[in-house]
Amino acid sequence: MPIGFPALSEAKQLLREAAAYKKETSGVDSRPYLEHAIKVADAAKKIAVQTLYLNPEKAYVLGLLHDYGHRILERALNKFHGQEGYEKMMEKGYFISARICLTHTFPNKDFDVKSTGYPEEWMLWAKQKLQDIEYDDYDRLIQLCDKFHDEGWKTSIENRVEAIAGRYNLPKERKSELLEEGQKLKRYFDGLCGKDLYELLGIKTEPAGYPTIWEAEKVFEDVISYRKEHFPHKPLTCSYINHSHNVAKAAKLIAESTAKLIPEKAYVLGLLHDCGKRLKEKESKKFHGREGYEYMLEKNYSDVARVCLTHTFPYKDARIDEMQYPNEWKAWAKEKLADVEYDDYDRLIQLCDKLCEEENIVRVEERMEKIVERYGLSSIEKERLLQEGNMLKEYFDKICGKDVYKILGVD
């Protein structure tokens, strides 16, 4: 008798094929798709282990394939990913995987087809199919675990709902419904497991001091727009955009190789570390580190604020007086840094800033050569910059247990 879902080895192969199909047919990077599927599966298995009756391997397989339908680009083909996944899994005889492809999006079967952010005809199809399905705890489990991960990042339900609402421009009422659905599911499985799932899965819920990735991308877009509006003759260039994205990418990759650093936080800090450049320093007569610091504090992103300041000063006690900044800028930075105890996020962004030259991630030496040339620095200043960069690299080599250049794919 068919069990309704594939064996683990086949499920992994199906996921790899779906990712390859996605990349081949749409040209889209399929890594976030893979990361999301694997992390939903990991969470589902961890929760299933804590219950008395859910099968961990089944939970893992259903998690791996819940977004199988996202092998297509929905809008390009005018087809709901839940329908694509449902139909493809049914063709293979995997009726349980098929229903999960559909049910994971809809904790509440009786939803308003006009409020989901999807075309109504897609939702009418889904709502009709759902009427014949009686949800079980595997449906509920994948619904919940899907809400713990956003684009491969482990996150709280609140942050995941915030990201979805922004991505699909959902009305406030629908956002509230999604939040209530997610919290209800969490309470249900907290009870089944006899423990808080945030604690089980290592999800932090305290005020983060930094935005979600989706929010950070919006802030980044605002920074670019602000500079273009207020300094139209000196807009932020592709070099700035590429540098910021590469610092974020490098910080994420290094953080993933550590035991304690959060990759999502590292990415966000890297993306926004230079947001103070929304002002043109010489014309505004304001240090970009100060502008970023104050701008992020206004948004209550204290961790981002400090990185806007600290990324420039690996040696906070000695470096400032030597820098080619006006005395009032240096005095302000010196006063603020006196109260800062550097942590590994400060050091991480300091390092990644020294590894990213426009669109490339490069060795410290290559990046410093460009900076010296760009700003006309002396040989003494060049030597100091090299010393700072190599010191930071050696520090993270030890933390990661491997050469940072290998982590980043630098020759």
Write down the domain spans for the chain.
8-201, 213-408
Task: Give me the pLDDT at residue 206, please.
Answer: 59
pLDDT in tens, 257-277: 988 888 888 999 999 999 999
pLDDT in tens, 205-215: 656 688 878 78
Instruction: List, in order, residues 6 or more apart from 96 with CB less than 8 Å away.
Output: 3, 4, 5, 62, 138
179 alpha carbon, distance to own chain's centre: 20
What is the pLDDT of the chain when averaged over all its residues? 89
* Per-residue tokens: 252: 């994420």
Distance CA 345, CA 307 (A): 8
**Is 8-201's fold the same as 213-408's?**
yes
Confidence of residue 91 (pLDDT cuts 50, 70, 90): very high
Confidence of residue 175 (pLDDT cuts 50, 70, 90): confident
Average of per-residue pLDDT across 7-16: 96
Task: Give me the pLDDT at residue 322, please.
Answer: 60
Task: Give me the pLDDT at residue 402, please.
Answer: 93
Instruction: List, in order, residues 6 or more apart from 318 with CB less than 8 Å away.
Output: none
Task: Please state, for a pLDDT cut of 90, what percent of the chain lies above it.
Answer: 60
pLDDT in tens, 275-325: 999 999 888 899 999 999 999 999 989 999 999 999 988 876 656 656 667
Residue 237 reports pLDDT greater than 60? yes
CATH fold, domain 213-408, is: Hypothetical protein af1432 (1.10.3210)
Strands 153-154 and 149-150: antiparallel
Contact 151, 36 (CB under 8 A): yes
Domain 8-201 has CATH 1.10.3210: yes
Average of per-residue pLDDT across 158-182: 82
pTM of the model: 0.60
Residue 404 reports pLDDT greater than 80? yes
Bridge partners, residue 154, by sequence:
149
Task: Give me the pLDDT at residue 223, please.
Answer: 95
pLDDT in tens, 157-169: 887 887 777 777 7
Residue 372 reports pLDDT greater than 80? no
Minimum mean pLDDT range among 116-125, 142-151, 377-386? 377-386
Average of per-residue pLDDT across 151-176: 78
Phi, psi of 403 (to 5 degrees): -70, 125
Task: Give me the pLDDT at residue 152, please.
Answer: 61
Element (H, E) at 48: helix 31-50
Residue 1 reports pLDDT greater than 50? no
